Structure 1
Amino acid sequence: MSKGKVYLIGAGPGDPGLITVKGLECIKKAEVLVYDRLSSPRLLAHASTDCELIYVGKKPDRHTLRQEEINQLLVDKALEGKVVTRLKGGDPCIFGRVGEEAELLVDNGLEFEIVPGITSGIAVPAYAGIPVTHRDYNSSFAIVTGHEDPEKNESNIDWSKLATATGTIAFYMGISNLPSIVSNLVKHGRPATTPVALIRWGTRPEQWTLTGTLETIVEIVEREQFTSPAIILVGEVVKLREKLNWYEKKPLFGQRVLVTRARSQASDLSDMIEELGGEPYEFPTIKILPPVDRKPIDAALNELSTFDWVIFTSPNGVSHFMKYLKENKVDIRNFGNAKIACVGPKTAEILEGYGLNVDVLPAQFIAEGLLDAIEDQLKPGQKVLLPRADIARKMLPEELKKRGLEVTEIDTYETKMDASNADEVVELLQEKRIQIITFTSSSTASNFYEALTSTGQDVLELIKGVKIVSIGAMTTQTCQKLGFEVAIEAEESTLNGLVNATIEVAKK
């Protein structure tokens, strides 16, 4: 059996967007992913579906595995011929004990690479509005552990030199030793009036920043019951926070938002939430699949030139329909004189991307609005093609038939429930780490309920206190039937409307 390879990579401080390009590539190629407590769980979604995930997280009072056991685990998996990725929070070379892991790999003749990450001591203060250097305040910066090996008899830190040697000092893992750190700095010459910032869970929705001075910070921490994990930053640059605090001022800061769209669609909404300072957590309750029976699609495409209307009610309907046009080698000019109507500006945008101008786009982005918009153009005997989802509402085709039109419905795609990460979502909800849930359709709401119910949970109890945002009236009705209390409904049934509603509800 050939030996495997180990990648020792830094995940960054928490925001999954701060991982390096190479680090992300190592996650994608991993056959075994060994990860710790401080790396974002969202990064795990990039691992392959057959990757073995092994959690080895550590807390101050509890270790899942001792460091020696982690070292040996990496060796054992690599000796099995596996590609192993060891995912660590921050940078693996800064208090990440990567040297110990790498040494044992060398001793066993195993190939490895170290992939640096963005370290917390720089990134976390930046997200709190504090650059660790500034020409008006300092020209040097030190990184120090606040939690040395407890088995050592004496400290390796020379406080007499450290206290005044650099303008800014970042202490890692030092909250439990804060009184000692403060005492040693002041004792060895650092002014008691020196500004201090403590940043907990930096770069995440839970980010919490306390500021004070060496003289006051211990009392503030005790009063606020501030706990680890946190960075301690000492230096005059802390004064810049008041002016440069950019991240915590974003409209969705502090909000972890559950995105329930299909995986293929979730990224657009997630990107918008992330840009506004929230953390999207994707729970794709829907899988979009090709229809089992392609015969109705093929038949409709062969008669495409005979239709008077082609009506699209969703972006997915357009995308899948156009895919079938290409697969069947049907010329897009076969649309001929058919009028094209659609629901929603996103659907219209996708159609226009194919060179098809939309004749009717209703102001109200639901089937009822579309029917009102084309009412005066409908004539008995006209042929209408409706490329839609298998679970689409029947109101539109039924109303068109009542008006004497000949309606051909084709299922361009099927939707199925996806509960693949339901257990993770349950855990987040139980720990009150989800603040907002967004529903973009009735099916996302129904599937959300069904997926969590399948885990044995009381869904209504689980989401108590979580704010629910609905994209429109039909989705709201479905939510209410399920017993969900909708906090707000989007004024416009679009992603922009949904995001605006999310911002509004986050203020409350």
Structure 2
Amino acid sequence: MALQDIYPTALRLLGRPVLVVGGGPVAARRAKGLLDAGAEVTVVAPVASPALRELADAGLLAWEQRDYRSSDVDGVWFVQTATGVSEVDAQVAADAEAQRIWCVNASDHESSAAWTPAVAVVEDVKIAVNAGGDPRRAMALRDAVATALETGDLPLRRHRRVSTGSTTGSVALVGGGPGDTGLITVRGRRLLAQADVVVADRLGPRELLKDLAPDVRVIEVGKTPGHHPVPQLEINRILVDEALAGNRVVRLKGGDPYVLGRGGEEAEFCRQNGVEVEVVPGVTSAISVPAAAGIPVTHRGLAKGFSVVTGHEELAEVPARPDHTVILLMGVAKLRGSAAALAAAGMPLDTPVGIVENGYMPEQRVTIGTLESIADQAEASGVANPAVVVIGDVVRVSPYAPEHFKTADYSTLTPNKPRAAAL
């Protein structure tokens, strides 16, 4: 049988009788697949494997404990033979052929009337691969295609509406991470590949928008500090209106939807209006962007806790100690006032401060100073959002830190003892 001789199709066997001849592991796998398809399975074999006996004992299939008879093919829709005895398999195949019943002959794939492909299921998509009679090759290709679908590298989006009795679509609040396309979660990437409408922030993995199909609508709702062209209430309404129109909507946000991202408000509004909503966590910029500059938000011997606030929030309640890391999001515009507030609360003026602009992006830039100097440094070098400000002794760990900062770095093996300066 040549590959060109094959006409690919899919059988709907729900409620239809099928026959499996053989009782070994191959027969058990084929019987399980046929049961998954809803078929009424009868197995004929003198001896059955434990897996087959378990299915029979559970009442999921009928097991005839005997040798095969030609009459066993009467009235069935499909036959799978896997006895391991080529003469028996050939007889089953010939009997099925005589009655014009499709039969898979596991002993002789070349003369078999039908082939069983390597199969995988991703959501409601079933992948079936034939590879010229080479099962290992087919399995490798199947796994590669399934992985590409699961990760969103292949389009999983529906183009034909599926009737479910409801015309309402759905909303997914997807955290896209700090901007690098490799830092979105697998789940987020897959949902983006399925989207009919994407409601996009200014930040996040914007490059992924270029991979969307031409008919996927992208609605831009990005904000900049002090400039909100699309108010939050309008964003909420867009999500609900698009979902009620039957669309799969992805709200693509930078960072994490639930870390200063107003994701909670959007999810609540969707649920109040009868729209199903899923929240996909993202890599929050509060932690990931400092890491891009080699700054841990906690470090043994330096800091055991951290606080995340925006530059617009009151800092009076934040611990004003170098051993408690303070992370400011959207804090560039009010950096001078924030530094003054922390100093007034008791934070030492020589506390290290790092600013990481455009974390993980090609234009990433790191500025490091002290609580006393950082505002002047930021103004002089034109620091701008998007940026994350990190305040505390953990900044000393950064490879970007000045050498006199690093000499005060603490060992992770002997905390509270300064490392000796490198020679």
> What interval of TM-score do these two structures reach, taking the shorter chain for normalisation?
0.5 to 0.7
Q: Identical aligned pairs, as a percentage?
A: 45
Residue 96 of structure 1: aligned partner:
261
Which residue does 2:369 correspond to in 1?
212
Whole-angstrom CA distance in 2 between matches of 1:29 and 1:162? 44
**Cα shift at 1:44:** 1.0
2:368 is paired with a residue whose SS is: strand
Per-residue deviation, residues 297-352 of structure 1 (Å, max 9, x unmatched): xxxxxxxxxxxxxxxxxxxxxxxxxxxxxxxxxxxxxxxxxxxxxxxxxxxxxxxx
Equivalent residue number for residue 312 of structure 2: 147
Contact 2:172 2:250 in 1 (8 A): yes
**Contact 1:29/1:48, CA 8 A, preserved across alignment:** no
More moved, 18-27 vs 161-170? 161-170
**Match 2:380 to one of 215, 223, 231:** 223
CA distance in 2, matches of 1:232, 1:103: 30
Residue in structure 1 matched with residue 73 of structure 2 by the alignment = none
- State the TM-score, normalizing by the size of structure 1: 0.45
| Other-structure match for 1:123 | 288
Does residue 233 (structure 1) correspond to residue 390 (structure 2)? The answer is: yes
Q: Which amino acid aligns with 2:353?
A: V
Secondary structure of residue in 2 paired with 1:190: coil
Indicate if the aligned counterparts of 1:24 and 1:46 stay in contact, CA closer than 8 A: no
Deviation at 1:95, TM superposition (A): 0.9
* Aligned amino acid, residue 168 of structure 2: K
Aligned partner of 2:351: which letter?
T
Q: Which amino acid aligns with 2:332?
A: I
After TM superposition, give the deviation of residue 164 of structure 1 in Å. 3.2
- 1:176 aligns with 333
Is the Cα contact below 8 Å between 1:75 and 1:108 reproduced in 2?
yes
Distance in 2, Cα, partners of 1:23 & 1:111: 16
8 Å contact 1:171–1:232 — kept in the other structure? yes
- Residue 215 to residue 16, structure 1, CA distance change in 2 (3 Å): same
SS in 2 for 1:74: helix
| Structure 1 residue 40, shift from structure 2 partner | 2.4
Residues 10-159 of structure 1: matches in 2 within 5 Å?
A: 10-148=175-313, 155=314, 157=315, 159=316
SS at structure 2 position matched to 1:163:
coil
Instruction: Report the Cα distance in structure 2 between the residues aligned to 1:165 and 1:234, rounded to whole angstroms.
Output: 7
| Deviation of the 1:244 alpha carbon | 8.9
Q: Is the 8 A contact 1:145 1:174 kept in 2?
A: yes
The answer for the alignment partner of 1:163 in structure 2 is 320
Describe the shift of the 1:68–1:109 C-alpha distance in structure 2 as closer, same or farther (beyond 3 A): same
The one-letter code of the counterpart of 1:195 is: P
Where do 1:49-448 residues align within 5 Å?
A: 49-148=214-313, 155=314, 157=315, 159-164=316-321, 167-242=324-399
For 1:106, the aligned partner's letter is R
Aligned mates of 2:338, 2:375 — CA distance in 1: 10
Aligned partner letter, 2:283: I
Matched letter for residue 213 of structure 1? T
CA contact (8 A) 2:293 2:399 kept: no
Q: Could you tell me whether the CA contact under 8 Å between 1:91 and 1:119 is conserved in 2?
A: yes
Q: Are 1:6 and 1:112, in contact at CA under 8 Å, matched by a contact in 2?
A: yes
Post-superposition shift, 1:219? 0.9
Q: Distance in 2 between matches of 1:166 and 1:46?
A: 44
1:129·1:244 contact (CA, 8 Å) conserved in 2?
no
Between Structure 1 and Structure 2, the one with more helix by share is 1
Q: TM-score, with normalisation over the residues of structure 2?
A: 0.54
Query: How far 1:161 sits from its partner (Å)?
Result: 4.3
SS at match of 1:170: strand
CA distance in 1, matches of 2:201, 2:221: 5
**Structure 1 residue identity aligned to 2:341:** N
Gaps of 5+ in 1: 149-154, 246-508
Q: Is the 8 A contact 1:11 1:87 kept in 2?
A: yes
Contact 1:31-1:51 within 8 A present in 2 as well: yes
Deviation at 1:162, TM superposition (A): 3.0
CA distance in 2, matches of 1:62, 1:243: 32
- Over 3 Å counting, the alpha-carbon distance change for 1:85 and 1:239 in structure 2 is same
The 3-state SS of whatever aligns with 2:267 is: helix
| Contact preservation (8 Å) 2:322, 2:348 | no
Alpha-carbon distance in 1 for matches of 2:286, 2:325: 11
Amino acid at match of 2:199: V
Q: How many residue pairs get matched? A: 237
Per the alignment, residue 302 of structure 1 pairs with none
Residue 48 of structure 1 deviates from its aligned partner by: 3.1
Instruction: Find the counterpart in structure 2 of residue 314 from structure 1.
Output: none
In structure 2, how many angstroms separate the alpha carbons of the residues matched to 1:67 and 1:43? 24
Question: Which residue type is aligned with residue 60 of structure 1?
Answer: P
Q: Pairwise CA RMSD of aligned residues?
A: 1.8
Cα distance between partner residues in 2 of 1:78 and 1:101: 13
CA distance in 2, matches of 1:145, 1:195: 19
Q: Matched residues in 1 for 2:199 and 2:216: separation?
A: 10
CA contact under 8 A between 1:12 and 1:120: conserved in structure 2?
A: yes
